[in-house]
Amino acid sequence: MTPKIAVAPEGTREWICDAVRAGGAEVVKPAQAQALVWTDAGYDDGRRNGPEALKALVAKHPHLDWVQLPWAGVEPYATAGVFDDKRRWTCGKGVYAKPVAEHALTLALAGLRDLKRFATMQSWGEQSGISLAGGKATIFGGGGIARELIALLAPFGAEITVVRRHPRKMDGVHRVLGYDTRYEALRGADVVFVACALTPETAGLISSIELELMEPHAWLVNVARGQHVLTEDLVLALRDDTIGGAALDVTDPEPLPDGHPLWELPNCFITPHTANTEDMARPLLSQRITANVRRYAAGEELIGPVDPALGY
């Protein structure tokens, strides 16, 4: 039986519909659909196509028994109370892990190797830089990005510590700690990666306390959400050389306003949330949607489930 799936909100890119059809489904209006592919990321809460719009849509069509969201980060929908136990929810969890992990490692190496200073020099200067080979890396988060990052770090022979909600053994990792013992993971690390979901537990994860515990040469790399790091605390730590530096693909606020102190600090560099671009995302998200549509039609377990209780 061909599943009937709606794609919303209106104006969604046609390639999303193509991905649904590639999974063997028919694209229909919500009133006729069994499931929904919702394509708005929801970061501007209150917009016409944001979380409230999705909440209204599923309330109007309670027969929808599965909703697919596009991105791994679904905190706007969790905050708005969109998730429920009446249907299955899936997201882009793990879809973008490879490009984001690649970007995280790029930021880390660029920071440790002092590339910002070298890139702006106009005359021959002093040598500087730290090698990650045989060094130590800490990763906050144990999901897809962390797993891909662990694989990328393997050739460096770095000692890796992972901090996650539920500590359990992970291949290629020296130790796995819970958030209650996270301070142990900061001492001695050459680089600290933030790659975890944004929840009430992880908001403000990196504050002045954590920054003080980091090594004076260590770099902080954030490819998750800006709210993981207390921006004012980070600015002070960078000004005082408490840590070696920070490389940020996400900030709080975001976009980071012109003239913000982070732009001018010599030991900080920022990429405008480009760890995963639309060009990178299109084939990856298409594959996930197609795979989940096929699984839905076959009655199989869906990839990237969202736990309504946890909010991710």
Cα gap 136→24, rounded to integer Å: 47
Active site residues: 225, 254, 273
Superfamily of domain 4-95+277-298: NAD(P)-binding Rossmann-like Domain (3.40.50.720)
pLDDT digit string, tens, across residues 267-293 = 999 999 999 998 999 999 999 999 999
pLDDT digits (tens, 9 = 90+) for 208-264: 999 999 999 999 999 999 999 999 999 999 999 999 999 999 999 999 999 999 999
Question: CA 110, CA 148: separation in Å to the nearest integer?
Answer: 19
Name the residue among 233, 286, 275, 242 with its Cα closest to residue 107: 275
Q: How large is the average pLDDT for residues 5-26?
A: 95
- pLDDT of 46: 47
Band (43; pLDDT cuts 50, 70, 90):
low
Q: Which two tokens stand for residue 2?
A: 């061909």
**CATH 3.40.50.720 intervals, the chain:** 4-95+277-298, 97-270
- For the 97-270 domain, the top CATH level (class) is alpha beta
- The dihedral built from the CA positions of residue 156, 159, 162 and 168, taken in this order, carries a sign that is positive
